[in-house]
């Protein structure tokens, strides 16, 4: 007799079903057509494949980073310090991914609060884990944060203070952001590899 995997039910099937039904319920509550909720956005809007491509790939890179960090954190034999670092990296990457995907900083919460939150978490990460970060390769993380910082700078300073054209600042902002996300993924891949390689550190 085949035994139904109970962990699969509680970890995957039940949460996904609850989330799916909750979204359907809320959509119905706010009079959003259900077909618009379940269909792909590009299919609904009829946009060419290139529309939003850079942003979408960036979100995939955020998600990949979060998945790698959290998977490594849950792996057996990882030393406690690496596990804590990767857990923080996974949570921060998840937050950045959700923010980027749902545009929380633009539409709901505000960029100043979100940028301050990211800055505070990053500062804590650098101070709390500086010893292990140096062993992994601190420069990789610094370069990533520098690119992401330049993205914020061009968005918040160049455009507003110097009154440059929106299109130009967007090209520069998104370019630095995209490179920053790629470097971010690179660093956390190195951190995960380090955690597996030096389990007893």
pLDDT of residue 39: 85
Q: How confident is the model at residue 162 (pLDDT cuts 50, 70, 90)?
A: low
| pLDDT classification of 200: cutoffs 50, 70, 90 | low
Mean of pLDDT values over 9-36: 92
Structure tokens at 4: 């139904």
Token duo for residue 188: 């956390």
pLDDT above 90 for 61: yes
Segments making up each domain of the chain, as ranges: 1-38, 50-197
Token representation of residue 61: 């890179």
Crossing angle for the helix pair 111-128 and 80-102, to the nearest 10 degrees:
170
pTM: 0.88
pLDDT interval class at 171 (50, 70, 90):
confident
Average pLDDT over residues 153-165: 68
Query: Exposed, middle or buried: residue 100 (CB in 10 Å: 0-12, 13-18, 19+)?
Result: buried
């Amino acid at each position: 007799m085949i035994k139904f995997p109970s962990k699969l039910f509680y970890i995957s099937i039940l949460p996904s079903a609850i989330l799916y039904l909750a979204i359907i319920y809320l959509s119905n509550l706010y009079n959003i057509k259900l077909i618009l909720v379940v269909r792909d956005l590009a299919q609904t809007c009829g946009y060419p494949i290139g529309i939003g491509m850079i942003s979408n790939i960036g979100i995939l890179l955020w998600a990949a980073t979060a998945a790698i960090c959290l998977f490594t954190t849950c792996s057996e034999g990882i030393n406690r310090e690496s596990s804590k670092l990767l857990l923080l990296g996974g949570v921060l990457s998840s937050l950045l991914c959700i923010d980027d995907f749902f545009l929380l900083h633009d539409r709901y919460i505000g960029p100043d609060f979100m940028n301050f939150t990211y800055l505070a978490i990053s500062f804590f990460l650098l101070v709390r884990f500086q010893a292990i970060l140096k062993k992994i390769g601190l420069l990789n993380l610094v370069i990533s944060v520098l690119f992401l910082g330049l993205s914020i700078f061009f968005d918040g300073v160049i455009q507003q203070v110097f009154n440059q054209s929106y299109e130009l600042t967007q090209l520069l902002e998104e370019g630095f952001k995209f490179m920053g996300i790629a470097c971010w993924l690179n660093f956390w891949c190195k951190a995960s590899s380090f955690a597996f390689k030096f389990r007893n550190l």
